[in-house]
């Protein structure tokens, strides 16, 4: 854990969040500023700063982020309709929290190309 990291603190339950699901390696919670009817963030419990830091050592947890996001999409009833998964990485993509997080956005239609 990085003691200065907001999402490490959420994973450690030191900062409150609306938890959606938890596994041994992953925790998912509602984004505090939702951009769609569902906007859930899925994070590894382990501190990984961004997608640039994914290596063979964390392939399994990154796969689990995707699997659990799909589970939430199914449970909330928009899996067949469609949804968006996003890893913002560094400044040009607008990353603001430097603990790897997968955005699950669903419940509406999304434009392409993204803004």
User: Active-site residue numbers?
Assistant: 101
Choice between 31 and 46, CB closer to ligand 5GP = 31
Q: Which residues of 1-26 are buried (b: 16+ CB within 10 A; e: fewer)?
A: eeeebebbbbbeeeeebeebeeeeeb
Fill in the per-residue mask, 39 to 58: x = in contact with ligand 5GP (CB under 6 A), - = not in contact. --x-----------------
Return the range that interacts with ligand 5GP (CB under 6 A); candidates 24-32, 52-60, 61-69, 70-78: 24-32
Which residues, other chains included, contact 74 with Cβ-Cβ below 8 Å and sequence gap of 6+?
A: none
Q: What is the C-alpha to C-alpha distance for residues 11 and 82, in angstroms, rounded to an integer?
A: 28
| Torsion of the alpha carbons at 45, 63, 48 and 106, rounded to the nearest 10 | -80
- Enumerate residues 51-90 that contact ligand 5GP by CB under 6 A: 88
> Is the Cα dihedral 91, 53, 111, 105 positive or negative?
negative
Taking the complex as a whole, the smallest distance from the CB of residue 80 to ligand 5GP amounts, in Å, to 25
Choice between 24 and 33, CB closer to ligand 5GP = 33
Q: Which does 38 bind (CB under 5 to 8 A by kind): ligand 5GP, Zn ion, none?
A: none
Residues interacting with ligand 5GP, by CB under 6 A?
Answer: 6, 17, 29-33, 41, 88, 94-97
């Amino acid at each position: 854990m990085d003691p200065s990291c907001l999402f490490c603190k959420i994973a450690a339950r030191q900062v409150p969040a609306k938890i959606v699901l938890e596994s041994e390696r992953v925790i998912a919670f509602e984004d505090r500023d939702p951009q769609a009817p569902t906007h859930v963030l899925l994070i590894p419990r382990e501190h990984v700063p961004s997608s640039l830091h994914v290596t063979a050592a964390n392939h399994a947890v990154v796969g689990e982020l995707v699997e659990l996001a799909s589970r939430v999409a199914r449970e909330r009833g928009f899996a067949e309709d469609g949804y968006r998964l996003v890893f913002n990485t560094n400044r040009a993509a607008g990353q603001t929290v430097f603990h790897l997080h997968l955005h699950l956005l669903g419940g509406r239609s999304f434009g392409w190309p993204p803004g």
